Amino acid sequence: QSALTQPASVSGSPGQSIAISCTGTSSDVGAYNSVSWYQQHPGKAPKLMIYDVSHRPSGVSDRFSGSKSGNTASLTISGLQAEDEADYYCSSYTKTTTLGGVFGGGTTLTVL
Amino acid sequence: EVQLVESGGGLVQPGGSLRLSCAASGFTFSSYWMSWVRQAPGKGLEWVANTNQDGSEKYYADSVKGRFTMSRDNAKNSLHLQIDSLRAEDSAVYYCARRALSYYGMEVWGQGTTVTVSS
Protein backbone atom coordinates (compact mmCIF):
# COMPACT_ATOMS: atom_id res chain seq x y z
CA GLN A 1 0.00 0.00 0.00
CA SER A 2 1.89 3.07 -1.29
CA ALA A 3 1.63 6.31 0.62
CA LEU A 4 0.06 9.38 -0.89
CA THR A 5 2.51 12.18 -1.75
CA GLN A 6 2.52 15.38 0.27
CA PRO A 7 5.08 18.18 0.44
CA ALA A 8 7.31 17.77 3.47
CA SER A 9 6.76 21.32 4.63
CA VAL A 10 4.86 24.51 3.92
CA SER A 11 4.93 27.86 5.65
CA GLY A 12 2.97 31.08 5.78
CA SER A 13 2.54 34.23 7.78
CA PRO A 14 -0.38 34.93 10.08
CA GLY A 15 -3.42 35.96 8.10
CA GLN A 16 -2.21 34.41 4.87
CA SER A 17 -3.63 31.36 3.11
CA ILE A 18 -1.74 28.18 2.33
CA ALA A 19 -2.56 24.98 0.48
CA ILE A 20 -1.24 21.47 1.06
CA SER A 21 -1.44 19.02 -1.81
CA CYS A 22 -1.96 15.28 -1.61
CA THR A 23 -1.26 13.29 -4.76
CA GLY A 24 -2.43 9.75 -5.22
CA THR A 25 -3.46 7.61 -8.13
CA SER A 26 -6.53 6.61 -10.08
CA SER A 27 -6.92 3.75 -7.57
CA ASP A 28 -7.33 5.94 -4.52
CA VAL A 29 -7.66 9.75 -4.58
CA GLY A 30 -8.78 9.83 -8.19
CA ALA A 31 -11.31 7.04 -7.83
CA TYR A 32 -13.24 8.01 -4.72
CA ASN A 33 -14.55 11.12 -3.00
CA SER A 34 -13.26 9.67 0.26
CA VAL A 35 -10.33 11.86 1.15
CA SER A 36 -9.84 13.01 4.72
CA TRP A 37 -7.36 15.35 6.37
CA TYR A 38 -5.95 15.16 9.90
CA GLN A 39 -4.14 17.74 12.02
CA GLN A 40 -1.59 16.58 14.57
CA HIS A 41 0.16 18.78 17.09
CA PRO A 42 3.42 17.48 18.61
CA GLY A 43 2.82 14.71 21.11
CA LYS A 44 -0.92 14.72 20.48
CA ALA A 45 -3.35 12.43 18.72
CA PRO A 46 -4.50 13.26 15.19
CA LYS A 47 -7.70 15.26 14.77
CA LEU A 48 -10.07 14.94 11.82
CA MET A 49 -10.33 18.25 9.98
CA ILE A 50 -11.91 17.35 6.62
CA TYR A 51 -13.79 14.27 5.42
CA ASP A 52 -15.14 13.20 2.03
CA VAL A 53 -12.87 15.71 0.25
CA SER A 54 -14.51 18.93 1.40
CA HIS A 55 -16.72 18.45 4.47
CA ARG A 56 -15.85 19.77 7.91
CA PRO A 57 -16.81 17.92 11.10
CA SER A 58 -18.72 19.91 13.65
CA GLY A 59 -16.44 22.25 15.55
CA VAL A 60 -13.76 22.60 12.90
CA SER A 61 -13.12 26.18 11.83
CA ASP A 62 -14.40 27.23 8.41
CA ARG A 63 -10.90 28.51 7.72
CA PHE A 64 -10.17 24.91 6.74
CA SER A 65 -11.41 23.73 3.37
CA GLY A 66 -10.75 20.81 1.05
CA SER A 67 -10.96 20.13 -2.65
CA LYS A 68 -9.92 17.59 -5.24
CA SER A 69 -8.96 17.58 -8.90
CA GLY A 70 -8.12 14.34 -10.60
CA ASN A 71 -5.63 12.39 -8.51
CA THR A 72 -4.73 15.34 -6.28
CA ALA A 73 -6.57 16.56 -3.21
CA SER A 74 -5.80 19.81 -1.42
CA LEU A 75 -6.28 21.27 2.03
CA THR A 76 -6.47 25.04 2.20
CA ILE A 77 -6.11 26.99 5.41
CA SER A 78 -7.09 30.64 5.22
CA GLY A 79 -6.37 33.37 7.74
CA LEU A 80 -3.43 31.46 9.19
CA GLN A 81 -3.15 31.50 12.96
CA ALA A 82 -0.32 30.46 15.23
CA GLU A 83 -2.30 27.46 16.49
CA ASP A 84 -2.52 26.07 12.97
CA GLU A 85 1.16 25.16 13.18
CA ALA A 86 1.09 21.36 13.15
CA ASP A 87 1.55 18.31 10.97
CA TYR A 88 -1.18 17.54 8.44
CA TYR A 89 -1.93 14.15 6.93
CA CYS A 90 -4.22 13.25 4.08
CA SER A 91 -5.85 9.85 3.75
CA SER A 92 -7.81 8.22 0.99
CA TYR A 93 -10.00 5.19 0.67
CA THR A 94 -8.56 2.48 -1.52
CA LYS A 95 -10.44 -0.73 -2.07
CA THR A 96 -7.35 -2.85 -1.50
CA THR A 97 -7.42 -2.14 2.24
CA THR A 98 -11.17 -2.35 2.99
CA LEU A 99 -11.74 0.95 4.79
CA GLY A 100 -8.17 1.07 6.03
CA GLY A 101 -7.08 3.45 3.40
CA VAL A 102 -3.71 4.94 2.73
CA PHE A 103 -2.09 7.96 4.36
CA GLY A 104 0.13 10.65 2.98
CA GLY A 105 3.60 11.11 4.41
CA GLY A 106 2.55 14.27 6.23
CA THR A 107 3.25 17.98 5.84
CA THR A 108 4.66 20.23 8.55
CA LEU A 109 3.03 23.65 8.54
CA THR A 110 5.10 26.46 10.01
CA VAL A 111 3.43 29.77 10.82
CA LEU A 112 6.15 32.38 10.48
CA GLU B 1 -17.75 12.55 26.97
CA VAL B 2 -16.69 10.37 24.07
CA GLN B 3 -13.34 8.85 24.94
CA LEU B 4 -10.87 6.19 23.86
CA VAL B 5 -8.05 5.22 26.21
CA GLU B 6 -5.28 2.90 25.09
CA SER B 7 -3.06 0.83 27.36
CA GLY B 8 -0.68 -2.11 27.25
CA GLY B 9 2.33 -0.60 25.51
CA GLY B 10 5.86 -1.11 26.74
CA LEU B 11 9.38 -2.30 26.01
CA VAL B 12 9.61 -5.77 24.51
CA GLN B 13 12.40 -7.78 22.92
CA PRO B 14 12.34 -8.71 19.24
CA GLY B 15 10.21 -11.77 18.71
CA GLY B 16 8.12 -11.01 21.77
CA SER B 17 4.42 -10.29 22.16
CA LEU B 18 2.18 -7.59 23.56
CA ARG B 19 -1.54 -7.10 23.92
CA LEU B 20 -2.78 -3.57 23.50
CA SER B 21 -6.18 -2.51 24.77
CA CYS B 22 -8.49 0.41 24.09
CA ALA B 23 -11.29 1.28 26.50
CA ALA B 24 -14.22 3.12 24.95
CA SER B 25 -16.72 5.28 26.79
CA GLY B 26 -19.38 7.90 26.13
CA PHE B 27 -20.86 6.25 23.04
CA THR B 28 -22.48 3.02 21.84
CA PHE B 29 -19.29 1.11 21.11
CA SER B 30 -21.02 -1.76 19.35
CA SER B 31 -22.34 0.56 16.62
CA TYR B 32 -18.97 1.52 15.17
CA TRP B 33 -16.20 0.15 13.03
CA MET B 34 -12.92 0.58 14.90
CA SER B 35 -9.33 0.93 13.71
CA TRP B 36 -5.75 0.78 14.92
CA VAL B 37 -3.29 3.27 13.45
CA ARG B 38 0.39 3.52 14.35
CA GLN B 39 3.09 6.14 14.08
CA ALA B 40 6.77 5.25 14.25
CA PRO B 41 9.05 7.81 15.93
CA GLY B 42 9.36 10.88 13.70
CA LYS B 43 7.31 9.23 10.96
CA GLY B 44 3.83 9.48 9.51
CA LEU B 45 0.60 7.67 10.23
CA GLU B 46 0.11 4.08 9.12
CA TRP B 47 -3.21 2.23 9.16
CA VAL B 48 -2.81 -1.13 10.90
CA ALA B 49 -6.19 -2.86 11.19
CA ASN B 50 -9.98 -2.46 11.12
CA THR B 51 -12.86 -4.41 12.56
CA ASN B 52 -16.58 -4.12 11.99
CA GLN B 53 -19.23 -3.63 14.62
CA ASP B 54 -19.50 -7.23 15.84
CA GLY B 55 -15.91 -8.25 15.16
CA SER B 56 -16.84 -10.71 12.41
CA GLU B 57 -14.79 -8.84 9.82
CA LYS B 58 -11.16 -7.91 10.32
CA TYR B 59 -8.73 -6.37 7.88
CA TYR B 60 -5.00 -5.84 8.26
CA ALA B 61 -2.23 -3.94 6.56
CA ASP B 62 0.13 -6.18 4.64
CA SER B 63 2.97 -5.17 6.98
CA VAL B 64 1.27 -6.79 9.99
CA LYS B 65 -0.82 -9.55 8.44
CA GLY B 66 -0.25 -12.87 10.17
CA ARG B 67 1.41 -11.29 13.23
CA PHE B 68 -1.27 -8.91 14.56
CA THR B 69 -4.76 -9.96 15.66
CA MET B 70 -7.50 -7.44 16.36
CA SER B 71 -10.48 -8.27 18.53
CA ARG B 72 -13.26 -6.52 20.39
CA ASP B 73 -15.48 -7.18 23.38
CA ASN B 74 -18.68 -5.18 22.98
CA ALA B 75 -19.92 -6.24 26.40
CA LYS B 76 -16.89 -4.56 27.94
CA ASN B 77 -16.61 -1.70 25.43
CA SER B 78 -13.06 -2.69 24.65
CA LEU B 79 -10.83 -3.17 21.64
CA HIS B 80 -7.64 -5.21 21.58
CA LEU B 81 -4.61 -5.73 19.39
CA GLN B 82 -2.51 -8.83 19.96
CA ILE B 83 0.95 -8.24 18.53
CA ASP B 84 3.20 -11.27 18.06
CA SER B 85 6.65 -11.80 16.54
CA LEU B 86 7.52 -8.19 17.20
CA ARG B 87 10.16 -6.50 15.07
CA ALA B 88 12.12 -3.31 15.56
CA GLU B 89 10.04 -1.67 12.84
CA ASP B 90 6.89 -2.24 14.90
CA SER B 91 8.12 0.35 17.41
CA ALA B 92 5.53 3.10 17.33
CA VAL B 93 2.73 4.89 19.10
CA TYR B 94 -0.41 2.84 18.56
CA TYR B 95 -3.71 4.70 18.38
CA CYS B 96 -7.20 3.26 18.42
CA ALA B 97 -9.77 5.25 16.50
CA ARG B 98 -13.49 5.23 15.90
CA ARG B 99 -14.59 5.31 12.30
CA ALA B 100 -17.44 7.60 11.36
CA LEU B 101 -20.80 6.01 10.66
CA SER B 102 -21.73 7.92 7.54
CA TYR B 103 -18.51 8.99 5.92
CA TYR B 104 -14.92 7.93 5.38
CA GLY B 105 -12.80 9.11 8.25
CA MET B 106 -11.66 8.44 11.80
CA GLU B 107 -13.53 10.90 13.97
CA VAL B 108 -12.40 9.98 17.47
CA TRP B 109 -8.86 9.05 18.51
CA GLY B 110 -7.28 7.85 21.72
CA GLN B 111 -4.11 9.38 23.13
CA GLY B 112 -1.99 6.42 22.05
CA THR B 113 0.19 3.81 23.71
CA THR B 114 3.89 3.39 22.95
CA VAL B 115 5.45 0.11 21.87
CA THR B 116 9.24 -0.12 21.82
CA VAL B 117 10.89 -3.21 20.38
CA SER B 118 14.52 -3.47 21.42
CA SER B 119 16.97 -5.95 22.87
Give residue A95's pLDDT: 77
pLDDT (tens digit per residue) in B7-43: 999 999 999 999 999 999 999 999 999 999 999 999 9
Residues A52, A73 contacting (CB under 8 angstroms): no
Contact A45 B95 (CB under 8 A): yes
Q: Minimal Cα–Cα distance from B79 to chain A, Å?
A: 16
> Where are any strands of DSSP class E within chain B?
3-7, 10-12, 18-25, 34-39, 45-51, 58-60, 68-73, 78-83, 92-99, 106-109, 113-117
| pLDDT tens, residue by residue, A32-61 | 999 999 999 999 999 999 999 999 999 999
User: What are the beta bridge partners of residue B70?
Assistant: B81
Instruction: With cut-offs at 50, 70 and 90, classify the pLDDT of residue A2.
Output: low
Question: Is the confidence at residue A96, as pLDDT, over 80?
Answer: no
Which DSSP category does A57 fall into?
A: P
Residues of B in contact with A4 (CB under 8 A): none
Phi-psi region of A75 (alpha: psi -120 to 50; beta: other; left: phi over 0): beta
Q: How many angstroms separate the CA atoms of B44 and A88, rounded?
A: 10
pLDDT at A98: 66
